[in-house]
Structure 1
Amino acid sequence: MPLPSFDPRRTAVVTIDMHRGHLDPEVATMPLPAEAAARVTAANAVLVRAARARQVPVVHVVTGYHAVSEIASNPWWAAVAGTDATRANVLNHQLPGSPGLQVMPDLLDASDVVVIGKKRYDCFAATDLDHVLRSRSVQTLLLTGVNTNSCVLATTVAANTRDYAAVVVEECVDTMDRSLHDAALRVIGTAFGWVAGLDETVAAL
């Protein structure tokens, strides 16, 4: 489906968990493969620089917990912890003092907004993201990040239910569950928002 026409003055880039906990092989607790991490970080860098050049706000949403109990209270995460699942290390992910809490340096600028403390897949749940966006009169979200089939999908669904126009930028998302990446994009493009290429998105700005 072609991209909707949108006003850059009412648009924001929202990056989802583009932090060292997924993307820096030196410290990541739930890492993407190194090649995928480098690729998705580079693509995001192109998008956020283009957005800033057009005065489009960039918002980074970062998972972070006060204690392990906040993670373990989720029944699914408690069940898969320590198994052979891709999220087996979930109880050690994004804890206080972790270097993983830091947004990847290539993506961060002093003009950006960082929403820290995301607790679940949906970036709107128990965060001030909606306030950040509404206070800037944002209507269109350019969504990027990790993981395509969990946090990106859940946030796109949540954006749709709040009547934002959600655009997932294909090269700017990836997942630890690589076999589900394309399926997640199909779900998004069928029912919840637009899936667009990086070049197309930058041109639309």
Structure 2
Amino acid sequence: MAHSALLVMDVQRGIVNRFEDAGYLPRLRGAIDAGRAAGVPVIYVVIGFRTGHPEISARNKSFSAITHTGAFAEGDAGAEIHPDVAPRPGDIVVTKKRVSAFAGSDLDVVLRAGEIDSLVLTGIATSGVVLSTLRQAADLDFGLTVLADGCLDPDPEVHRVLTGKVFPRQADVVTVDEWVMAVGR
């Protein structure tokens, strides 16, 4: 039988605040609560850097713009996990240094130690952390599920194409409600 974990990725104040979907955090909270009730480990993945961003190269187009702002560095309130979906004691928080949840983190070590072989992916953004993590996790032979409405993207069309056409090649794509019903059985 597969041992699954729910990944809640990049749901940090500075990222969540860029979106106006009032239903997102309650949906995500529903998935988190259902996962916990079913004994599914909840693992939070956050982007985080040291003060001064020494991990970011000037050649990195995705991250070099934040090196002058202090964003997502130690002490930045925007780097905190949004309080509506905050971790509880016993939840694991993994800090990554790039887009994929695996890049610059100890996520793979945590998953292997917990004998996790299947991942349920949620997070912001669909075209960022979710896509990158899905691709890397598929290459690492994890079973994959994506909660389509447990993900957000600044471009609704990109989200639609990824969840409707790209992700199904490597993952089961379901809604939060469908997954909650499945894990509640």
Per the shorter chain, which TM-score range? 0.7 to 0.9
Taking structure 1 as the reference length, the TM-score comes to 0.80
The 8 Å contact of residues 71 and 91 in structure 1, kept in 2 or not, is answered as: no
> Shift of the alpha carbon at 1:76?
2.2
Larger helix percent: 1
> Shift of the alpha carbon at 1:110?
1.2
State, as a whole percentage, how many aligned pairs show the same letter: 31
Whole-angstrom CA distance in 1 between matches of 2:29 and 2:128:
22
Whole-angstrom CA distance in 1 between matches of 2:153 and 2:55:
23
* Alignment of 1:131 onto 2:109: yes
Which residue in the other structure is 1:167 paired with? 145
Query: Gaps spanning 5+ residues in structure 1: where?
Result: 1-5, 26-30, 82-88
> Shift of the alpha carbon at 1:69?
4.3
The 8 Å contact of residues 53 and 67 in structure 2, kept in 1 or not, is answered as: no
Counterparts in 2 of 1:100 and 1:122: CA distance versus 1, 3 Å: same
After superposition, what is the alpha-carbon deviation per residue over 1:121-180, rounded to whole angstroms, capped at 9, x for unaligned?
Answer: 111111011111111111111100010011100000011000001111011000123331
Counterparts in 2 of 1:78 and 1:59: CA distance versus 1, 3 Å: closer
After superposition, what is the alpha-carbon deviation per residue over 1:12-43, rounded to whole angstroms, capped at 9, x for unaligned?
Answer: 101110111211x3xxxxx2x2x22x322111
* Alignment of 1:111 onto 2:97: no
Amino acid in structure 2 at the alignment position of 1:48? I
Task: Find the residue that maps to 2:160 and give its secondary structure.
Answer: helix
Which residue in the other structure is 1:148 paired with? 126
Which residue in the other structure is 2:72 paired with? 94
After superposition, what is the alpha-carbon deviation per residue over 1:66-101, rounded to whole angstroms, capped at 9, x for unaligned?
Answer: 13343343432368x4xxxxxxx6753312210122
* Alignment of 1:181 onto 2:159: yes
Taking structure 2 as the reference length, the TM-score comes to 0.88
> Shift of the alpha carbon at 1:119?
1.2
Whole-angstrom CA distance in 1 between matches of 2:24 and 2:134:
18
